[in-house]
A and B are shown apart, each in its own frame.
Chain A
Amino acid sequence: MRLTVVAALCALLLPVVGQADDRRVVSADGAITEIIYAIGAQDQLVAVDTTSRYPASVADLPRVGYLRALPFEGVLALDPDVLITTEEAAPDETLERLARAGVSVRQLPVARTPEATVGRVRAVGDVMGRAAAAERLATELEHQVASVVAKRSEAPAPRVLFLLAAGPRGVMIAGDNTAAQAMLETLGAENAVTGIQGYKPAGREALLASRPDAIVIAETRPGQFDIDDWPELAALPAWQQGHHVTSDSMLLLGFGPRLADALATIVRALPAGEQVSQHGS
């Protein structure tokens, strides 16, 4: 009993007196987890959520479930000093109870632009006590993104069909108010499909009617998309001319430290961009 009290007191005092690097951190967001690894603060991580899938070594950490359904006891049992997540985290009761139990709950804004992503990198750096490393990453990211976007600015806006693939029957068209749309806007490209909110199941005729200049496919897991299941897509001129790319959804839609990679991946599929030969999935 006495030991528990002492341990609890220590946990409460650590953020004040202890080294920042000794803190125990739970990260509940894929992009935030990526940033934590990118700034070399992963030693502080004690658990992640189910959206954290990159880099591969996060698989060794315990999972606290999905960031919109965080379990109070599950998170508390890991004895964390900090829970770092986004404003999407839920339920509010869990977050509020965790705060009352002495966990520092840090909710960062949702990032859907390069500026917000860079801001998020700095914010994670502050929370993790790695401001210098975060600043280096932020500057580098700003620079990389700017150089990718610069290549696009003079070209006319291509119309891009953005698909999210979660299995052969689970291919969805990305519409307005999605991270996919935000990626296209960043590159000065247009969404080939208008009038859809969020991700909606793809109709085969709608795919044909969209007549895109390029096709981007974000897979929730590698191999989720097979072009053989979608002859309509293969029939589109954009596909036949090789203006398409298939990549991981966490890379393409994550707005994390790999944002420049993600943008470059899409740019390579665009007709007026750098022509790099792509082979289907």
Chain B
Amino acid sequence: MVRDEAGRLAPGIALAGIATAALAVAWLSVTSGAYPLSLSDILSVIVRPAEADHVARMVLVDVRLPRFLLGFLVGAVLAVSGAILQGLFRNPLADPGLIGVSAGASLAAIGVIVLGGTWLGRWVAFAGEWALPIAAFIGGSGTVFLAWRIARRAGETSVATLLLAGIAINAIAGAGTGLLTFYSSDEELRSLTFWTMGSLGHASWDDLMVAGPWLVLALVASPFLARPLDAFLLGEQVVGHLGYRTDWIKRAAILVAGLGVGAAVAVSGLIGFVGLVVPHLVRQVLGASHRTLLPLSALLGGTLLVGADCLARVIVAPAELPIGLMMSLIGGPFFLALLLKRRII
């Protein structure tokens, strides 16, 4: 029984398919890049790391491996956060950008880039090379917290107010970013432009140390939200009737998405479309149950982002395209095609 009455794939088959694709991009990600490495180079690094050529080892172990892991985690977290927020808002257009995470994180990051020499000099001196990612993380989760506080009235969180507050906060953060852009010097402008286009190109083990725990935490926590989010599909009252504490579910969902996306944006810049497109794709194939939607979104999100990154690094070699740009280039037309073909919204 491969497909049910609605024409949806059995979860096991879809899981096997995506897992195979994930392994394929993992291999592709480690073996492809501008620097030519033969299969024997790679094998010798794996089998006898001490005797392998030190440049080959560096390319594999210090560059491609952390890049693959970070790309997969970031893609997975963005997709899962998108799925959670779409469930919470019962709105297929919701994505992590909507509640202000990305806008808050980028405002903080661009603030560090532009004001690092003046107003934020002390912060930069204190936090050193972590100044930017930590600020982005604080900015991202801070804006989510703010939106949530605004939406909270008499112990209840209004989802509609949360959405509207998110939109307003987005606009304010966007204006702040614009203002900083205006006051930035030429060099700052270039570096913040690259930051807003998103990049995995500078991924290192240090980035993984900083962001990894939060990303993994968000992924591990997400399955606990699956059943309550299924209930949310039937309406907010139903959630209460089924015995869940509605407000706790909302808080947990916002916390998971906020921390996860905050950490993702902090190390990789702004990467769009994964959070929007991936959950839709999975729903198309497997239906809307969050018990399958969340884990498969994670797998597919990671796979897609790593796949796009493989393309981004070879397509204009020896230069590299920013991954956020690549993702939107692939994701935009793909999503449109899906929309025209199946009318999914």
* A interface residues with partner B (beta carbon < 8 Å): 1, 4-5, 8, 47, 50, 62-66, 68-69, 71-78, 88, 90-91, 93-94, 97, 100-102, 177-178, 197-200
Q: Can you list 13 A-B pairs with a CB-CB distance of less than 8 A?
A: A1-B40, A4-B41, A4-B53, A47-B318, A68-B190, A68-B191, A74-B318, A76-B55, A77-B33, A77-B34, A77-B36, A93-B202, A101-B58
Contact partners of B54 in chain A: CB under 8 A: 101
Give the 5 A-B CB pairs with smallest separation, nearest first. A74-B318, A65-B319, A77-B34, A73-B34, A77-B35
| Bound CA span A8–B317, Å | 21
**CB-CB under 8 A for A5 and B53, given A77-B318, A197-B185:** yes
Contact partners of A76 in chain B: CB under 8 A: 34-35, 55, 59
User: Quick check: A93 and B34 within 8 Å, CB to CB?
Assistant: no
| Bound CA span A7–B268, Å | 35
Residue of A nearest to B41 (CB): A4
Is B56's CB within 8 Å of the partner chain A?
A: yes
A89 to chain B, nearest CB (A): 11
Residue of A nearest to B188 (CB): A198
Contact partners of B36 in chain A: CB under 8 A: 77
A220 to chain B, nearest CB (A): 12
Given A4-B41, A76-B55, 17 extra CB contacts under 8 A: A62-B318, A65-B318, A68-B194, A69-B190, A69-B194, A69-B201, A71-B201, A71-B319, A73-B35, A73-B63, A74-B320, A76-B34, A77-B317, A198-B184, A198-B185, A199-B186, A200-B182
Residue of B nearest to A72 (CB): B63
User: Quick check: B187 and A88 within 8 Å, CB to CB?
Assistant: yes
Interface size on B, residues (CB 8 A): 35
Residue of B nearest to A7 (CB): B53
| Bound CA span A123–B183, Å | 34
Contact partners of B317 in chain A: CB under 8 A: 74, 77
| Bound CA span A61–B38, Å | 25
User: Quick check: A71 and B55 within 8 Å, CB to CB?
Assistant: no
User: Quick check: B58 and A97 within 8 Å, CB to CB?
Assistant: yes
Contact partners of A4 in chain B: CB under 8 A: 38, 41, 53, 56
Contact partners of B184 in chain A: CB under 8 A: 198
Is B250's CB within 8 Å of the partner chain A?
A: no
Question: Considering the complex, which residues of chain B in the window 164-185 have a beta carbon less than 8 Å from any beta carbon of chain A?
Answer: 182-185
User: Quick check: A71 and B53 within 8 Å, CB to CB?
Assistant: no
Question: Which one, B33, B185, B190, B313, contacts A66 given CB within 8 A?
Answer: B190
User: Quick check: B40 and A64 within 8 Å, CB to CB?
Assistant: no
Is B62's CB within 8 Å of the partner chain A?
A: yes
Contact partners of A100 in chain B: CB under 8 A: 58
Contact partners of B191 in chain A: CB under 8 A: 68-69, 90
User: Quick check: A74 and B185 within 8 Å, CB to CB?
Assistant: no
| Bound CA span A101–B185, Å | 32
**CB-CB under 8 A for A64 and B186, given A72-B63, A93-B204, A94-B202:** no
Is B292's CB within 8 Å of the partner chain A?
A: no
Contact partners of B56 in chain A: CB under 8 A: 4
Contact partners of A50 in chain B: CB under 8 A: 319
Contact partners of A199 in chain B: CB under 8 A: 186
B119 to chain A, nearest CB (A): 15
Is B328's CB within 8 Å of the partner chain A?
A: no
User: Quick check: A71 and B313 within 8 Å, CB to CB?
Assistant: yes
| Bound CA span A200–B186, Å | 9
A81 to chain B, nearest CB (A): 13
- Residue-wise, chain B 41-74 has the 8 Å CB interface mask toward A (1 for contact) of 1001000000001111011001100000000000
Contact partners of B33 in chain A: CB under 8 A: 73, 77
User: Quick check: B318 and A71 within 8 Å, CB to CB?
Assistant: yes
